[in-house]
Amino acid sequence: MPETMPAPPPHYGSNRNCTCMHPRKKMGMMHMTFFWGHNAEVLFDRWPGADPKMYAVSLAVVFAMAALVELLSACRLAGRSGSKGNVATGVLRTVLFTVRCGLNYLVMLAVMSFNGGIFLAAVSGHALGFLVFGSRVSKKSGGPGSVPERAVLPSASC
């Protein structure tokens, strides 16, 4: 006698426009490929919506968050030999690391909106932030009191 397979669980996503697993909640389709246009949702429900001005604000916010991530990555804290065991310095480093990690995740979630403009704003913010804060283009090196090349904060991978 052949063994019978159990029936599959009921599929709640039978509505083609529903991307959720909850049977009563209907949502619009999410983009799974990059698209261009100002009618997008970035980070929050119905934001920026269909308003081109709010879309420009969302581009600026994502750009600023990405640049701030690079600023926090290049941030140097007092690391003199007498303060290695300083609890306040350790707490400050932990707070900065946590803020940077949170900003990194917010930028990643914004890019996951699959909007081409948001993607370009994030990459541009990281690029400009690295150019200004991380590339040492505007900093002199080798002089007295120069900061060593090693970053005080941990790497940017969260």
User: Domain limits of the chain?
Assistant: 40-134
> Tens of pLDDT along 2-45?
667 666 555 554 444 444 444 444 556 677 888 898 888 888 88
Please, are residues 130 and 137 in contact by the beta-carbon 8 Å criterion?
A: no
Chain-centroid distance of CA 21 in Å reads 26
Instruction: Report the 10 Å Cβ neighbour count for 123.
Output: 15
Distance CA 37, CA 52 (A): 9
Residue 120 has pLDDT above 90, yes or no: yes
State yes or no: pLDDT of 78 exceeds 70: no
Instruction: Report the pLDDT value the prediction gives residue 32, as an integer from 0 to 100.
Output: 83
User: Residue 103: phi, psi to the nearest 5?
Assistant: -65, -40
pTM: 0.68
